[in-house]
Amino acid sequence: MKKILSLIAGMFLLTSLAFAENPVQLSVPGTNFPEGNVKGARLNLLYGRTHNVTGLNVSVLGLSEVDNFTGLQLGFLLGAAKVNGDFTGVSLALVNWQEGRSKGLNIGLVNYVKDMKGLNLGLLNYTENESLINIGFVNYTGGHSTIDIAFVNYAESTTFQLGLVNATKNLDGLQVGLINYAENGVLPVLPIVNFRKGL
């Protein structure tokens, strides 16, 4: 196994010498072959961290950590993807974890983002500040969410929620569900439909 990894790493290193940015990179715990930014494809095994990736980022059996990412991320066999800064693109992984501004699409069991201009599709969608569209089993937004569709939806403020249980402090539009709670709703709690006072 060590010989195979050494051979793959050697091929990646020789290929990258002709380019200013690495066209390929292999990340394993503690080491990147070769070091530096990636503009092309990156394969992460178990755990790997690198600075900036533009292109394809594949994680197998572990966590891929990138400072800034643009492109397509794929997590296989319990693969997870973490972006410490800005994310633009599509991420399909067991867990999508984005600490900066996100634009695009996240598909995973758990999507944890700070700010999302796009779509989160997962069992649990957790947005710290603002989100555009969340579709899942449970959606939580600590700031404003435009559209939430799930069995349970909570947002500090929202425009539209569709689910069995919907809750918000500030409703700008409409809630549709079995139980709808909105502090500024026509009534604080209503079955079927609730909307903002004066709408």
Condensed to tens digits (0 to 9), the pLDDT of residues 138-149 reads: 999 999 999 999
> Contact at 8 Å (CB) between 64 and 48?
yes
pLDDT digits 0-9 by tens, 53-76: 999 999 999 999 999 999 999 998
Same domain, residue pair 124 and 68: no
What value does the mean pLDDT take over residues 10-16? 47
Burial class (CB in 10 A: 0-12, 13-18, 19+), 175: buried
Pairing type for strands 22-28 and 31-33 reads antiparallel
What value does the mean pLDDT take over residues 179-194? 96
Same domain, residue pair 127 and 186: yes
Same domain, residue pair 69 and 156: no
Q: What percentage of the chain carries pLDDT values higher than 90?
A: 85
User: Which residues, 6+ apart, have CB-to-CB distance to 8 below 8 Å?
Assistant: 26, 33
Instruction: State which residues form the domain around 119.
Output: 113-199
Same domain, residue pair 71 and 3: yes
In the numeric block, which tokens belong to residue 16? 């990258």
Domain edge (last residue) among 93, 121, 137:
93
Residue 104 lies in a domain: no
**How far is residue 9's CA from residue 7's CA, in Å, rounded to a whole number?**
5
pLDDT category, 197, cuts 50, 70, 90?
Answer: confident
Residue 89 lies in a domain: yes
Same domain, residue pair 73 and 124: no
Same domain, residue pair 2 and 89: yes
What's the domain count of the chain? 2
User: Which residues, 6+ apart, have CB-to-CB distance to 1 below 8 Å?
Assistant: none
pLDDT at 198: 72
pTM: 0.86
